[in-house]
Structure 1
Amino acid sequence: AAMLLAGLAVVLALLFWAWRCRPGGAGCWGSRRRPWGLVLWHWLALRVLGRAVGWQRRHLEQASKDVRRSQERLLLRLLGGAGAAEPGTGAGRRAPAGRQGLALGEGEYSDCVYLPWLSPSRSVPTQGPVLYLDVLSRVFPEALSPQGTARFSWARGCSLPAAAWPLPTLYCTPEEAGTVPSRAAALYVQLLFALRERELRALEAGLVSELYDALGVLRAGWEGLAQDLALGRLSPRLELPEGTRRRLEQLAECARGWDGVARRLWPRLQVVVAAEPSGEQLYGEALRESECQGLPFYCPFYGTAGALLGVNLWPEQPDSRYLLCPDWAFCEFLPAGTGAEGPPGTVLLADVQAGPEYELVLTAQAGLSRCRVGEVLKVAEFHNQCPVVGLVRRLSQTLSVRGEGVPEERFYQSLRRAVAMWPGARLVDYVCAESSLLGASSGVCAPHYQVFVELRGVRDLSEVQRYKLDQCLQEDFPVYKTFRLKGSIGPVRLHLVAAGAFRELRDAAGSPGPMARVLREKRLLHFIQRRVVS
């Protein structure tokens, strides 16, 4: 047995060496024929993952049949087993948490950080990526082709891990492309690598806004991309290789218009893999209507506060739903929405019900901190005893200058109704801010909303047209209307910004998190104010 393992190790080492030394590597713009070493390494990795999938599926099924026991075991592991009570003795029964919060003993909830994909570390289960690859291969059979996925993602000073990090041969874009100093430059480089690959099967992005911006680069500067592809590392004196010529010819598809251009550039494309939280719904809609027309969108994971919480096993469903895996993170829930007034206690994962909305409370391994994530979930159904949830809204993105509470997703619907009343106008992007963020510069008027929009099809709006948004808000939110009639809330102030202003705003934010629809930083508010044109 020892000799067999040693022989297998030698074979693996040789295969890895062949892959690392493959011709036409990531830095070359020449022939894209798959080297035999990469193909063999990819095949072997798929066989190993195939073995792992069966075990992970069985483990998930077993854990989901006794959620309370799975959560108790997880909590004991987080506590390090100190004073270890055995599972089933109530170790997982947490003390009720009021709105001010409790830690494991006393204290406050910690702040949370959003991560679209999560790194392969001790605190992040490998079960998620393995299940994702299994789902992808079953629903989109060709999606696991070697170098068949182009990835678009950036984080300041580092490279965010891919959704399928256990299978690096899946990607045509090198990891280093995500470490360049600026977000715009990273997306440009990643787009160049994607355009080299005619046989792409999938487009992957940490957030749908990253794919939106990458394809925006294609829309704005495809001629420059064609020139860069032509030169690459080739001397200008050399004749253009036939493979490069074909890739330049495919860019001519851009001159034919943008509807469905992704499938025209990459005819074998099957799926778009990207996180699409509530604040990024606008970008997903725009991509589905134009560049990614006809392609299914699939968000594989639900993760927040540095923890992977759930996996989407149903890519065929139009609305993303996630199975909360009971041995990935210790979750509690505060009832939210109507009928949740007062200081409620937390509900454990095993006790949630289908239908109501809950605010998520998470216990993270680092520092054993208990964290109110600030996201509201709704339980749609159950898989065995495990809840299957959908993301409803982010509490931090609620507009409220007098306690009226206008959530981001409902504000977006009101804004869309107002835009529909402006002839020829199409909404490209928007953000809001509460007038208190302006300080003394907001004047002596009543508190109000500052709204910044980028429109296509119109250059200016009359005051009557701008007031349509305030009217829509009054019709959609009775509490807001009451405050408006009393004069304790002033009318919305609507500003038009220059084209591309929001792409620059996302670059300036420097965070890999989803688009903030309600600005909380003066720095970002002043940034967008400087781009107002009307």
Structure 2
Amino acid sequence: MPTIREELDRRELLYSLLMPVMSLYVPGLDKGKGLYFLFVKSESKTPGGLTARPVLTSYYKSDHFRSRPFDAYNIYTSPTAAILCADSFQSMYSQMLCGLYARLDVLRVGAVFASGLLRAIRFLQLHWESLARDIETGTLTDRVADPSVRDSLAGVLSPDPGLARFIVDECSKDNWAGIITRVWPNTKYLDVIVTGAMAQYIPTLEYYSGGIPMACTMYASSECYFGLNLQPMCKPSEVSYTIMPNMAYFEFLPVDSSSSEPTTLVELASVEVGKEYELVITTYAGLYRYRVGDVLRVTGFHNAAPSFRFVRRKNVLLSIESDKTDESELQRAVECASELMRPHGASVAEYTSQADTSSIPGHYVVYWELLVRDPSAGPGRDVLERCCLEMEEAMNAVYRQSRVADGSIGPLEIRVVRSGTFEELMDYAISRGASINQYKVPRCVNFTPIIELLDSRVESAHFSPACPNWTPHT
């Protein structure tokens, strides 16, 4: 996405409004710190020599973030050097270590996405013993080797056997319910995005946090920052974002599934409450009438600025974190993997998928019903595992980066279901009112009874045996 230096000024303006709005609902946020797990990702160069990097990486590496003035409402436990460390383990370890040292000062815990916060909890589950040893001795594990990170932690590290014993006592328990408020007892809310695809993480976050509020403070994308949630302590299901008209020029394409005729774009002040629109933006950085792909429902107005509830992403089937996989991409991946089964006299008769977030990190699950000419000579486990990896190789660069560099997505899984399963799936849909003439196999499912039906018919499950190829230039 094209951007310009002045765009950071606008984004900084939006960031500067987050805490004043939050302070209307949660007093005393200037008396403590925020434990935020923030990370940069790798950069690349375009053929013309321009730097290409994720939008948040661009912000964290800018002077707006690195040289930000002191603000009592925005004191982070994480040193800037730890946030800017490109190695995900070293960055996470040092941020978690600092968060544990400052546990009584922490008033809010957050990450950009809900999935990122859950990854941090999972990291604590895996590494609490090492963290406790470092706190007990006041030293830093050799696995954190980045000199700038080690220097930034020099003023934090000190022997604290009492804190170390506390961490051991809490983290060695089998029950991790409420672990966030047990370790950071003064936490008033979680600052995470739990709208859209991130809503799938709400039950898990409630479990780990003991049910404290989740604040979705802002609405933004790589293309443009859009607006604020002016009632940030509302329930996740009630979140609405109010558009800031100075961030871009906003237009809206009415969503009408009953009409195939092209419709006229509606201006910002002319949208109607209750109606759904696709967001269209013209940005200062050069995007002209760009369709973002978000479908929004108008919920009201703040003065003359409309508020919207995020409804869905257009055409996105699967998403774990920042990845977005659409139907055509999934189809292409299945076709590529299916080629590996041809020598074994097999092919994919039907398939569907789900984003499984029951484990951390989440991963893609693809259900296959196979057509096998000779069951005694069909594809074996090794072939199906290679099919998993082949599907991953066919995914986009964001997915592969998340698998390889970030570890925010787990290995893709293929679950082979017994013959006739997709006929049962159709029968179930028809029993609930679907038309037999218009029924199409859903390429993604999230309705619990359907997932339970599919899982009850699984004959074998296979995981990708390795990470797909990825470099910063792919």
TM range, normalised to the smaller chain?
Answer: 0.5 to 0.7
Tell me the distance in 2 between the aligned counterparts of 1:479 and 1:438: 27
Secondary structure of residue in 1 paired with 2:315: helix
- Pair 1:215–1:344, CA change in 2 (3 A): same
Tell me the distance in 1 between the aligned counterparts of 2:76 and 2:97: 13
Tell me what 2:178 maps to: 260
Tell me the distance in 2 between the aligned counterparts of 1:431 and 1:244: 51
Larger of the two Rg values belongs to structure: 1
Q: What code does the residue aligned with 2:171 have? A: C
Q: In the alignment, is residue 171 of structure 1 matched against residue 89 of structure 2?
A: no
TM-score (norm. length: structure 1): 0.56
- Pair 1:254–1:479, CA change in 2 (3 A): farther
Tell me what 2:333 maps to: 437
CA contact (8 A) 1:143 1:270 kept: no
CA contact (8 A) 1:153 1:205 kept: yes
Secondary structure of residue in 2 paired with 1:441: helix
Q: What code does the residue aligned with 1:211 have? A: L
CA contact (8 A) 1:272 1:297 kept: yes
Tell me the distance in 2 between the aligned counterparts of 1:483 and 1:316: 41
Query: Which runs of 5 or more residues in structure 2 are unaligned?
Result: 44-56, 143-156, 339-345, 360-412, 442-452
Question: CA offsets per residue over residues 488-529 of structure 1, 9 Å max, x none?
Answer: xxx98977566xx9xx98x99899xxxxxxxxxxx9xxxxxx
- Pair 1:475–1:175, CA change in 2 (3 A): farther
Tell me what 2:52 maps to: none
- Pair 1:455–1:234, CA change in 2 (3 A): closer
Secondary structure of residue in 2 paired with 1:341: coil
Tell me what 1:369 maps to: 288
Tell me what 1:228 maps to: 134
Tell me what 2:27 maps to: 141
2:312 counterpart (389, 393, 405): 393
Deviation (angstroms), 1:297: 0.6
Tell me what 1:349 maps to: 268
2:352 counterpart (435, 444, 449): 449
Deviation (angstroms), 1:193: 1.4
Tell me the distance in 1 between the aligned counterparts of 2:141 and 2:37: 28
CA contact (8 A) 1:331 1:363 kept: yes
Deviation (angstroms), 1:296: 0.6
Q: What code does the residue aligned with 1:150 have? A: L
Deviation (angstroms), 1:133: 1.0
Tell me what 1:128 maps to: 14
Question: CA offsets per residue over residues 276-323 of structure 1, 9 Å max, x none?
Answer: 2411212232111x2112211111111124322111110221122111
Tell me the distance in 2 between the aligned counterparts of 1:235 and 1:304: 36
- Pair 1:354–1:112, CA change in 2 (3 A): farther
Secondary structure of residue in 2 paired with 1:181: coil
Q: What code does the residue aligned with 2:91 have? A: A
2:218 counterpart (292, 296, 301): 301
Aligned ranges 1:522-533 → 2 under 5 Å: none
Tell me the distance in 2 between the aligned counterparts of 1:140 and 1:302: 20
Deviation (angstroms), 1:382: 1.1
Deviation (angstroms), 1:179: 2.5
Q: What code does the residue aligned with 2:209 have? A: C
Q: What code does the residue aligned with 1:224 have? A: S
Deviation (angstroms), 1:224: 2.3
Q: What code does the residue aligned with 1:478 have? A: A
Tell me what 1:274 maps to: 192
Deviation (angstroms), 1:248: 3.9
- Pair 1:184–1:348, CA change in 2 (3 A): farther
Tell me the distance in 1 between the aligned counterparts of 2:331 and 2:78: 43
Tell me what 1:413 maps to: none
Question: CA offsets per residue over residues 204-256 of structure 1, 9 Å max, x none?
Answer: 211111101011111233222212333443799xxx96645324424421233
CA contact (8 A) 1:188 1:214 kept: no
Tell me the distance in 1 between the aligned counterparts of 2:181 and 2:348: 51
Tell me what 2:88 maps to: 183
- Pair 1:248–1:254, CA change in 2 (3 A): same
Deviation (angstroms), 1:448: 3.5
- Pair 1:440–1:307, CA change in 2 (3 A): closer
Deviation (angstroms), 1:182: 3.5
Question: CA offsets per residue over residues 22-73 of structure 1, 9 Å max, x none?
Answer: xxxxxxxxxxxxxxxxxxxxxxxxxxxxxxxxxxxxxxxxxxxxxxxxxxxx
Q: In the alignment, is residue 157 of structure 1 matched against residue 42 of structure 2?
A: yes
Q: What code does the residue aligned with 2:42 have? A: G
Tell me the distance in 2 between the aligned counterparts of 1:119 and 1:322: 25
Tell me the distance in 1 between the aligned counterparts of 2:171 and 2:212: 18
Tell me what 1:102 maps to: none
- Pair 1:381–1:154, CA change in 2 (3 A): same
Q: What code does the residue aligned with 1:156 have? A: K
Deviation (angstroms), 1:181: 2.8
Q: What code does the residue aligned with 1:127 have? A: L
Q: What code does the residue aligned with 1:139 have? A: Y
Deviation (angstroms), 1:436: 3.2
Percent of aligned positions with the same letter in both sequences?
A: 24
CA contact (8 A) 2:114 2:193 kept: yes
Aligned ranges 1:318-337 → 2 under 5 Å: 318=235, 319-337=238-256
Tell me what 2:163 maps to: 246
Tell me the distance in 1 between the aligned counterparts of 2:355 and 2:437: 21
Tell me what 1:381 maps to: 300
Secondary structure of residue in 2 paired with 1:219: helix
Tell me the distance in 1 between the aligned counterparts of 2:128 and 2:120: 11
Tell me the distance in 2 between the aligned counterparts of 1:330 and 1:339: 28
- Pair 1:372–1:193, CA change in 2 (3 A): same
TM-score (norm. length: structure 2): 0.63
- Pair 1:463–1:309, CA change in 2 (3 A): same
Tell me the distance in 1 between the aligned counterparts of 2:101 and 2:469: 29
Question: CA offsets per residue over residues 78-128 of structure 1, 9 Å max, x none?
Answer: xxxxxxxxxxxxxxxxxxxxxxxxxxxxxxxxx699xxxx99955524432
Tell me the distance in 1 between the aligned counterparts of 2:303 and 2:27: 27
Secondary structure of residue in 2 paired with 1:201: strand
